Amino acid sequence: MMNGDALSSAVMSVRKLSHSDLPALLSLCLGNPQYYAFLDEEPTMDALAAEMTELPPGCLPNQKSYLGFFDAGGDLIAVLDLVRGYPAERSVFIGFFMVCVSRQGAGVGSSLITRLRDRLRGESVSRVRLAYVEGNEQSRRFWEKCGFVEAGAPIDQGEYRVVPMEYRLT
Ligand SMILES: CC(C)(COP(=O)(O)OP(=O)(O)OC[C@H]1O[C@@H](n2cnc3c(N)ncnc32)[C@H](O)[C@@H]1OP(=O)(O)O)[C@@H](O)C(=O)NCCC(=O)NCCS
């Protein structure tokens, strides 16, 4: 795993993404074709624009943070979609997490998730939930490495199934 100093030098700023970030976001997503192969779809500007504001059932826009992590040169190196208070109070749901392919395998992903967990623990969040696409071993192994465990039976989404996972903070 990357240590804190190495991560600090890789990630210089974090902010909510907006429509003007869509070209950079699309290019990051296009660098991960295997992820989209499991979904049987390809990333598009329109789909990503919709994802920026899409909410789980019963959630309000102020619960969602669609965050971009940038390096010193201003390049987008990771994206994280976070929904607070879902699926229950004191829970946080990770809807999407992706690292730029040129930065993968260097500990950026796991360091960002470790930092996120530490921060959420300080905010009295009790668990972090997510669901990965069944069969995607890269995703499964990544979340397992980050300490997440399976939390229920796979859920049918039509074209594919997703496997729920969670990390308990308390
Ligand atoms: C999954 C992903 C976020 C990992 O980011 P990363 O910065 O490369 O992750 P790290 O370097 O911190 O790797 C941490 C662990 O993840 C696992 N992992 C990462 N890439 C992997 C791969 N290609 N195959 C299998 N396991 C992998 C390993 O266990 C690794 O630990 P190790 O290096 O000690 O073996 C990144 O590969 C990605 O964006 N993939 C496409 C999108 C995706 O699958 N997102 C998650 C589901 S929402």
Residue 42 has a pLDDT of 96
| Domain, as residue range, for 122 | 4-168
Task: For residue 2, report the phi and psi dihedrals to the nearest 5 degrees.
Answer: -70, 140
Give the residue among 118, 65, 124, 127 at the shortest CA–CA distance from 91. Answer: 127
Q: How many independent structural domains does the chain possess?
A: 1
The pLDDT of residue 170 is 86
pLDDT of 151 reads 97
**Which of 7, 136, 138 most suits a substitution to test ligand 1, by most atoms within 8 Å of the C-beta?**
138
Q: What is the pLDDT of residue 10?
A: 77
Q: Does the beta carbon of 99 lie inside 6 Å of ligand 1?
A: yes
Residue 41 near residue 145, CB atoms below 8 Å: no
Q: What integer pLDDT is reported at residue 12 of this predicted model?
A: 81
What 3-state DSSP class applies to 132?
strand
What's the pTM? 0.95
Tokens of 54: 């899409």
Angstrom distance (rounded) from CA 76 to CA 73: 9
Q: State how beta strands 127-133 and 91-99 pair.
A: parallel
CATH number at residue 156: 3.40.630.30
138 CA → ligand 1 middle, Å: 6
- CA–CA distance from 61 to each of 7, 42, 55, 67, 116 (Å)? 29, 26, 7, 14, 20
For ligand 1, atom 9, the nearest C-alpha belongs to 109
Strands (E), the chain: 13-16, 64-70, 76-84, 91-99, 127-133, 149-150, 155-156, 161-168
Ligand 1 pocket residue status of 106, Cβ below 6 Å = yes
> Could you state, in chain order, the average pLDDT of each consecutive group of 10 residues for the chain (170 residues)?
63 93 98 96 97 97 97 95 96 98 95 94 95 97 98 95 96
**What is the DSSP code (8-state) at residue 73?**
T
CB 93 within 8 A of CB 129: yes
- Closest C-alpha to ligand 1, atom 1: 139
